[in-house]
Structure 1
Amino acid sequence: MGFPAEMIQEKEPLVCYPDHELAYRCFIDNSSQWRAGMGGIYALDYNVIYSWLDAEGIKQRERNQVLREISLLERGALEVMQERREQQERSRKK
């Protein structure tokens, strides 16, 4: 098909601990809801996150923990996106 072998190799399955499942589900369900500007993507749209939490009936006590976990996922995703942007810039300069 023309794909390099490394693109179709099986990856290790993702394991999500049950205590973090709600935050992970929220992050994945809203993974297309990023705020972006001239410099690219910079944050999740938390208005959408709050709506999702409301729709799921998440109580305030649990909501605070979920939001903390989502912010960690967001930070990690932003770091990966930044690394990819930098790699693309380096490859363009070559």
Structure 2
Amino acid sequence: MPASQYADMFCVEVWPENAPAWNLFEALQTQWRAGSGGVIGLDYGVLAEELRVREIPPADHEQLRADVRVMEAAALQEIYAETEK
């Protein structure tokens, strides 16, 4: 299946107040770390760099990190749910 078709299958709306966290999470999509047991989580060193490069005010970093962790946990839950089937 072409990537464009795949992407269209998973379109969702993001509320404006969630857009900064979603954009960060999306920017980290290739930064998953894996070990011999599978995916472990995101590389938070890259998250710090993304916050810096995007010139996000330090006052917003703590909340954005927490928001990304929520999405990471949900993604990991889905990843491992798929492997248990």
Question: What CA distance in whole angstroms lies between the structure 1 residues aligned with 2:10 and 2:33?
Answer: 30
The counterpart of 1:56, out of the listed 50, 54, 57, is 54
Find the counterpart in structure 2 of residue 38 from structure 1.
Answer: 36
User: TM-score under structure 1 normalisation?
Assistant: 0.78
How many residues are treated as equivalent by the alignment? 81
Deviations 1:53-80 (A, max 9, x none): 1000111111111111000000000000
Q: Percent identity?
A: 26
SS at 1:42 equivalent = strand
Is residue 12 of structure 2 the alignment partner of residue 14 of structure 1?
yes
Find the counterpart in structure 2 of residue 83 from structure 1.
Answer: 81
Find the counterpart in structure 2 of residue 69 from structure 1.
Answer: 67
SS at 2:13 equivalent = coil
Stretches of structure 1 lacking an aligned partner (at least 5 in a row) = 88-94
Deviations 1:26-71 (A, max 9, x none): 1111111011111100110000011001000111111111111000
SS at 1:52 equivalent = helix
CA separation of 1:27/1:12 partners in 2, compared to 1, >3 Å: closer, same or farther? closer
Stretches of 4+ aligned residues off by more than 4 angstroms: none
User: TM-score under structure 2 normalisation?
Assistant: 0.85
